[in-house]
């Protein structure tokens, strides 16, 4: 039972991890997620995109209930670790495709 709960919590944390959301999803999905949260960010870099994604989720109007902020604050260290691990890939993508645009249709700087 303990293993099932641990696995469930770990899976839940990873699905909300900023790095997973920003590296494994398409640019359009990332932009749509951030627009849905009404972020004030215009674009996020691909290098350390998980941290940028989390900060952009926080950079918007207050959410009802206030549950989002504590969850994102817990996610920041995890995103930092995964962003560091994914640096070779995200550096390549940054040079190849530029920033992930939130309020424009294509990537690019």
Whole-number pLDDT of residue 68: 77
DSSP 26: -
In this prediction, residue 74 has a pLDDT band, given cuts at 50, 70 and 90, of confident
- Split at pLDDT 50, 70, 90, the class of 109 is very low
Return the pLDDT at 9: 54
Question: Rounded mean pLDDT of the chain?
Answer: 84
- Give, to the nearest 10 degrees, the angle between helix 68-85 and helix 2-16: 80
Q: Per residue in 7-26, pLDDT tens?
A: 555 555 555 588 988 999 99
Q: Looking up tokens 């398409």, which residue turns up? A: 26
Per-residue pLDDT reduced to its tens digit, 75-108: 888 899 999 999 999 999 999 999 999 986 544 4
């Amino acid at each position: 039972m303990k293993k099932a709960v641990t696995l469930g919590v770990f899976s839940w944390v990873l699905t909300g991890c900023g790095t997973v959301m920003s590296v494994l999803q398409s640019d359009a999905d990332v932009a749509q997620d951030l627009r849905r949260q009404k972020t004030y960010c215009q674009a996020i870099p691909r290098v350390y995109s998980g941290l940028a994604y989390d900060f952009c989720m926080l950079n918007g109007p207050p959410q009802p209930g206030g549950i989002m902020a504590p969850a994102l604050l817990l996610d920041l260290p995890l995103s930092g670790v995964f962003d560091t691990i994914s640096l070779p890939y995200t550096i390549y993508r940054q040079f190849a495709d530029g920033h992930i645009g939130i309020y424009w249709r294509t990537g690019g700087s």
